[in-house]
Amino acid sequence: MSQSHRIPGKGLLIDRARPVRFTFDGRAHEGFAGDTLASALLANGTRLMGRSFKYHRPRGVMTAGSEEPSALMQIHEGAQQTPNVRATVQEIYEGLEARSQNHLGPLSFDLLAVNDWMAPFLSAGFYYKTFMWPRAFWEKLYEPAIRRAAGLGSLSGRHDEAVYEKAFAHCDLLVIGAGPAGLMAALVAARAGADVILADEEVRMGGRLLADGAEVDGQAGPDWAASVVAELASLPNVRLMTRTTVTGAYDDGTFGALERVSLHRAPGDAPRECFWRIVARRAILAAGALERPIAHPDNDRPGVMLASGLTGQMTRFGVNPGRVVIFSNNDSGLATARSLTAQGIEIAAYVDPRPIPVTEDFPVYAGAEVVGTRGRLGLRDVAVRHKGGISMIEARTLALAGGWNPTLHLTCHLNTRPQWDEKIAAFVPKPGAVPGLEVAGAARGRFSTAACLADGAQVAGEVLADLGLRAPDVPVPGAEDRPYGIAPLWAVDAGGRAWLDFANDVTTKDVKLAAQEGFRSVEHMKRYTTQGMAPDQGKTSNVAALAVLADATGQEIPVTGTTTYRPPFIPVSIAAMGAGGRAEGFAPRRLLTSDARSRAMGAPMIEAGLWSRPSYFPRDGETDWRTACDREVRQVREAVGVADVSTLGKIDVQGADAARFLDFVYTNTMSTLAPGKVRYGLMLREDGFVLDDGTCARLGPEHFLVTTTTAAAGLVMRHMDFVHQAFCGGWDVRMASVTESWAQFCIAGPKAGAVLAALGITADLPFMGCAPVTLGGVAGRLFRISFSGEQGYEIAVPTRYGAALFDRLVEAAHALDGCAYGMEALNVLRVEKGFITHAEIHGRVTADDVGLGKMVSGKKDCIGKAASQRPGLTEAGREQLVGLMPVNQGEVLSAGAHLYNERDPAVREHNQGYVTSVAPSPTLGCWLGLGFLKDGRARHGQVIRLDDGLRGRKVLVEVCDPVFFDPEGGRMRG
Amino acid sequence: MRIPCPCCGLRDRREFTYYGASVFLDRPAPDAGLEAWDEYLHLRDNPAGVTRDLWYHDPCQSWLEVERNTVTHEVLSTRPVVEARA
C-alpha cells in the first residue's frame, strides 16, 4: 500500500526522508519515522484496525493519544507478544510486527461478527442471566467459550526476557503535562531556580499547541513550545522527561511514572520501559483535558473519531481525513471546522444541536443531530436529522466534539471525588484533593489557550511562594481566548445502538437496562455493564455513561457521582513495576563463605530464608539425596562431619547489666552462667508462646554471645532491641548483630577432637564450654556444643577467613574417614536426637508443649512468663511433643500429616495432633517423626494412625519419647 | 509513606518494620492479673484518625513511637520509645 492519505508538507513529528517498513496482520506497510501505528495505517488508507470486545464490530482509531479506547493491537517481537497496545501510542520501527485482535478468520470477515446480529440477546448481564444452568457447565463449557468469543489480545505464555528498569527521582516541583499550562508553569519555576521535573507522555512537548493550530505571542504554537522547551533543556535545574506518563499519585508527594524508554525501537539492549518513583515537594497537574464523543446510533464505525483525534493525526502526522463531517455541541468543534477548511480539508457538514448562526465557509446544520452512519467496514455516509428530515451525507471521517473532560484522574487517587461544574458540564478537581498537588489549565477547566498559559504561570507562582522561592516576572504571552459555549449533549435519542464505551462495547441501552434492573448506583452500573473496565478505564466514556445513568434514574449528575479513580492512569506492565525482581532479583541472596567450595564439591544448594545452603555433598555413584544423606549421617555417627552453621543468628551483648537483661529475655537464668560456659536458652513472646531457642555463651563477666535459629535471627534482634529500649531504659547494656561478622562451622562425631588436633587446636573443653582459640594467628572462638548428639564443636573465625577454614576442615575430616555434611543430614541427626527447630516452635506452642516447661524459671520475671501461665496454655489436653516410629519399619512418614486414633475417621473432630518433622534414620533403620499429640507425653507406647490426606498415606505409628537416639546423651558429653 | 527517624532523618517506609499500637509499651506488672494481661496483649482500638504505633527502623535499630493519621496517612511526630516511656 502507498501512503496515499497524507497531506503534502504536513506532519510535525514525521520525517519524510526516513521511510519505515512494518507489517500489520502480516501485510507489509510503509510509514515514516515518527509515525505511530495508528497514523501510519491511516496514512495507508487503513481505517479498520480491530474488532470490538463483545459484538466483534469493525473498529478504527478514535484519538491521537493514550486515551485510545478502540485501536488496540498486539505487538509481536520474536516469541514475545504484547496485547492491547494502543496503536495511537506505539511508534513504528523497522520490522515492527503488529496484529489486530479479537477476530476469527480475517479481520475484514470476522466469523464471530455473528455476535453483532445477536446483539438484542447480548445486552448487559446477559451472561449472568443465561448461563446459569446446569451449574457444572459454567467452568467447563460456558466460560471457556465466552472467553474465546469476547476479550482482546493474548499473552505468549512465556517469560518476558526483555530488560525493564526502575528508577527514583526527587525534585522541588513535578509538572505533569507539557501543554501550554505545563510549559508555562515549568518555565516560571525553572527561572526561579526550583529543581523541576517536567514529564509528558508524548514524544514532543507542547500538548494541544501541537494540534490546534493556535498561535502564541504571534508565533505558531509548535514554535513557541519548542522555544520554551529549548530554554528548559538548557537549564541545569530542569529534567525533561518525554514519553513518560505519570501514572499515580501516592502519599507524601510520591508519584509513579512510566517511561517508554525504547518501545519505539526494535528490541535491543536498552530497557523497554522504566518505572519511576518521583518524590516531589510540590506538583502541578497540567494534564489538559480529554475530548468526549457523543453517543449516537452506530457511532463506532472505523472513520468515526474524536475531533481532537482527527486534528492530532493531521497536524502531527499529516494524515488526510478525506471528506469530514463534524458533530459538535461546543465552539471548539466549530473552531476545528474552520481550521480544517482553512487547511484545505473539505467539511461536508458541520452538525450542531445548538441554534448557531449559519454563516460559515462550509455547510452548517444548526439545531441538528447525527442519527446514524453507514459503511460496513468503514464510514461511508452520515445520517443527519435536521428540520424534521434526514439527510445522508457522504464522508470518510466523522469527527465528534462532545466537549471536554479535565484530566483530573491523579487528583482522585487518594480517594477524593471530583466536583461537578455546571458551566462547563464537566467534573473539575476538588482543590486540595492531594496534598502538595495543584492543578492548572484545562485540567481544572480553563479551556482556552490564553487561560491555560495564564493559569500555568499563576499556579507556578503560588507553588514557588510555598517553596520559599520568589517567582520571576515572566510575561504571559497572548493567545486565543475563545469562549467554550457548550450545550451538553450526551446521547442522541434516535433508537439503535449508541456506543459509550468503545473498548468494552457498552451502549446507552446497556446503561438504561442496568438502571431499569436496579443497578442504579454508578458503581453497580459499572460492574453490571463493564462500563469503563477496559484497558482505557473509560477515559473517553465514563462521564457520558453516568450522564446517561443520571437521566435514566432521574437524578442530577452531581448526585449520581463518579466511580472511583484508581492508579494507574494508563496500563502499566507488571514487568516494569517489578523491574529487576525476576528470578535471582526477587530477593537478596546471602552466601556462605563455604559457598564456592560446596558448589565445587557438587552440592545442590537449597534456599533457607535468604541463605543458600548445601543440601548434601554427593560422592561418585550417589545419584539421589537419600544415599548421600544416609552416608553423611553414618559418617558423623561413626567418624566425623563438618558443616557450615554460619547462618545461625549471632548477637553480641555487652555491659554491666547484660546478665540482668538476658535473664529478662530468656526464660531461664543466664546471670548464673560462669564465664567460659555455654547454656541452652529459650525465649518466649510476650503472649507466652515460644519465640526462639539457641545458646548463650558467656565470653567474659560483662560479655555474652547469643545465638538464634537461622529463621528467627532478625526477629530476635528486633525483639531484644524492643525489650531493651522499651523496658530497660537506663540499663548498661548494648547489643549488635554479628551474624555476618563470623563464619562458624560445626565439627561433629567421635573424631571431632582429632579434626581440631589436625588444625593444631588442643581441645580440652568440657561439654558446654567455650574458649578463645588461635588458628594460624587468627583469633577465633571455640564452643563445645552439639546439634547432632555426637561430641561436637563449633569453631568461629572472622568471616574473611571462613573459606580457608572450611577447606582445611573438609580436608582434615576426609583424612579421618569423615565428610562435609549438608542440610539433609543435619536434619536427620537432629530429629534422631529430638532437637526442635522452627518446624516445632512454629508460634503456637508453649515451653511445656515442647517438653521444656522446667526451663521457665520460677524465681524471676521474664518476657512471656505472665501470659504463659494463662489457663488456656496450662490446662490438660494440650498437644505435646512426641516421637513417632512406624510400626512396620519400612513405611514412610510425612510431615504435615495429622494423627488419629487407630479406628477414628480422618475428620477434624477426631484430630489428635499433627506431624512437624520427619527424617529417614540410617541409625535406627526406619523413618522417624516429631509431632504434637494431645496429652502426648502420657501416651508413649500407644499405636496411632498417621493420615496424610494430600499424599494418600496412612501409616500406623508408635508414640515414643522424641529423643530416639542416645537418650542419656553420653555420646555428646563423652 | 515516609517516617522521620530521630537518628537518621526522613526515611522511606520500606526501611521500617511495623509492630502495633504503642500501648504495648505499658507492660503490666507480672502479678497484674489475667484481665490486665489480656487487655495488654489482645485488646486494641482501631481508630480512624490519629493513632500511635510502634515502628522499628531496621538500619539504626531504633524502636520508635510514631503518631500518625490512619485516614490521611500523615505522620505527625516520632520519638524513640525510650523517651515515650519516660
Query: What separation in angstroms does the CA of A592 have from each of A595, A645, A747?
Result: 5, 9, 17
**A563-566: long-range pairs with CB below 8 Å, 24+:** A563/A522, A563/A523, A563/A526, A563/A532, A563/A538, A564/A412, A564/A415, A564/A523, A565/A408, A565/A409, A565/A412, A565/A413, A566/A413
* A756 domain residue, yes or no: no
Q: How far apart are CA A213 and CA A887, in angstroms?
A: 90
A98 and A11 share one domain: yes
Query: What separation in angstroms does the CA of A158 have from each of A148, A576, A581, A583?
Result: 20, 16, 16, 14
Q: For A215-239, give one letter per residue: b (16+ CB within 10 A) or e.
A: bbeeeebbebbbebbeebeeeebbb
* A303 domain residue, yes or no: yes
Q: Give the residue from chain B lying closest to A865, CA to CA.
A: B30
On the 0-12 / 13-18 / 19+ scale of CB atoms within 10 A, A762 is exposed
Q: How far apart are CA A791 and CA A972, in angstroms?
A: 4
Looking up cell 494431645 gives A934
Which residue of B63, B66, B74, B78 is the best one to mutate when testing the A interface, meaning the one whose CB has the most A CBs within 10 A? B63
In DSSP notation, A82-149 reads: EEEEETTTPBP-TTEEEEE-S-SS-GGG-GGGHHHHTGGGS-TTHHHHHTTSSTTHIIIIIHHHHHHH
* A309 domain residue, yes or no: yes
On the 0-12 / 13-18 / 19+ scale of CB atoms within 10 A, A658 is buried
Query: What separation in angstroms does the CA of A619 have from each of A606, A631, A821?
Result: 18, 10, 11
- Kindly report the nearest CA distance between residue A280 and chain B, in angstroms: 13
A332 and A280 share one domain: no
For residue A375, the domain's CATH number is: 3.50.50.60
pLDDT at A126 (0 to 100)? 67
Residue A354 cell numbers, joined: 445548538
A262 and A411 share one domain: yes
pLDDT at A712 (0 to 100)? 95
A48 and A149 share one domain: yes
A273 and A333 share one domain: no
Instruction: Return phi, psi of residue A513, to 5°.
Output: -65, -40
Q: How far apart are CA A959 and CA A887, in angstroms?
A: 10
Q: Which of A252, A866, A871 sits opposite B1 (nearest CB)?
A: A252
Q: For residue range A749-798, what is the model confidence (pLDDT) as tens digits?
A: 999 999 999 999 987 899 999 999 999 899 999 999 999 999 999 999 99
pLDDT at A130 (0 to 100)? 65
Q: Where are the domains of chain B?
A: 2-85
A281 and A316 share one domain: no
Which of chain B's residues have a Cβ under 8 Å away from the Cβ of A722?
A: 19, 54, 56, 63, 81
**Interchain CB distance below 8 Å, A866 and B37:** yes
Q: Domain ends where: A369, A384, A401?
A: A401
Three-class SS of A7-44: CCCCCCCCEEEEEEEEEECCEEEEEEECCEHHHHHHHC
* A784 domain residue, yes or no: no
A363 and A339 share one domain: yes
pLDDT at A329 (0 to 100)? 97
Q: Distance between terminal CA atoms of chain B?
A: 27
Q: For residue range B53-71, what is the model confidence (pLDDT) as tens digits?
A: 999 999 999 999 999 999 9
3-state secondary structure of A834: coil
A30 and A137 share one domain: yes
- Kindly report the nearest CA distance between residue B48 and chain A, in angstroms: 15
pLDDT at B22 (0 to 100)? 95
Q: Give the residue from chain B lying closest to A722, CA to CA.
A: B63
- Kindly report the nearest CA distance between residue A725 and chain B, in angstroms: 5
- Kindly report the nearest CA distance between residue B31 and chain A, in angstroms: 7
- Kindly report the nearest CA distance between residue A252 and chain B, in angstroms: 6
Q: Domain ends where: A401, A428, A451?
A: A401
**Interchain CB distance below 8 Å, A718 and B62:** no
A19 and A150 share one domain: yes
pLDDT at A147 (0 to 100)? 65
Q: How far apart are CA A558 and CA A419, in angstroms?
A: 7
* A897 domain residue, yes or no: yes
A24 and A132 share one domain: yes
Give the total number of structural domains in chain A.
5
Q: Which of B24, B31, B80 sits opposite A725 (nearest CB)?
A: B80
**Interchain CB distance below 8 Å, A866 and B32:** yes
Which of chain B's residues have a Cβ under 8 Å away from the Cβ of A866?
A: 28, 30-32, 37
- Kindly report the nearest CA distance between residue B81 and chain A, in angstroms: 6
For residues A360 and A350, the answer to whether their CB atoms sit within 8 Å is yes
For residue A147, the domain's CATH number is: 3.10.20.440
Which residue of B56, B68, B78 is the best one to mutate when testing the A interface, meaning the one whose CB has the most A CBs within 10 A? B56
Residue A590 cell numbers, joined: 546471602
Q: Give the residue from chain A lying closest to B25, CA to CA.
A: A726
pLDDT at A131 (0 to 100)? 63
**Interchain CB distance below 8 Å, B81 and A866:** no
For residues A290 and A209, the answer to whether their CB atoms sit within 8 Å is no
Domain range enclosing A317: 294-401
* A791 domain residue, yes or no: no
- Kindly report the nearest CA distance between residue A586 and chain B, in angstroms: 16
How many contacts does A have with B, using Cβ atoms within 8 A?
53
Residues of B with CB under 8 A from a CB of A: 1-2, 17, 19, 24-25, 27-28, 30-32, 34, 37-38, 41, 54, 56, 58, 61-63, 72-74, 80-82, 85-86
Please give the model's pTM, rounded to 2 decimal places.
Answer: 0.90
Q: Which CATH class is domain B2-85?
A: alpha beta
Q: Is A727 on the interface with B (CB under 8 A)?
A: yes
Q: Domain ends where: A401, A416, A444?
A: A401
User: What rounded mean pLDDT belongs to chain B?
Assistant: 94
A181 and A83 share one domain: no
Q: For residue range A65-94, what is the model confidence (pLDDT) as tens digits?
A: 999 999 999 998 877 889 999 999 999 999
A304 and A411 share one domain: no
Which of chain A's residues have a Cβ under 8 Å away from the Cβ of B17?
A: 718
- Kindly report the nearest CA distance between residue B30 and chain A, in angstroms: 6
For residues A225 and A203, the answer to whether their CB atoms sit within 8 Å is no
Q: Which of B17, B31, B85 sits opposite A726 (nearest CB)?
A: B85
pLDDT at A77 (0 to 100)? 83
For residues A273 and A286, the answer to whether their CB atoms sit within 8 Å is no
**Interchain CB distance below 8 Å, A725 and B63:** yes
What is the side-by-side strand order in the sheet with A381-386?
A369-374, A381-386, A389-394
Q: Is A719 on the interface with B (CB under 8 A)?
A: no
In DSSP notation, A179-236 reads: SHHHHHHHHHHHHTT--EEEE-SSSSS-GGGGTS--EETTEEHHHHHHHHHHHHHH-T
On the 0-12 / 13-18 / 19+ scale of CB atoms within 10 A, B17 is middle
On the 0-12 / 13-18 / 19+ scale of CB atoms within 10 A, A117 is exposed
pLDDT at A492 (0 to 100)? 96
Ranges of residues in chain A whose predicted pLDDT is under 70: 1, 121, 126-135, 138, 142, 145-151
* A673 domain residue, yes or no: no
**Interchain CB distance below 8 Å, B82 and A729:** yes
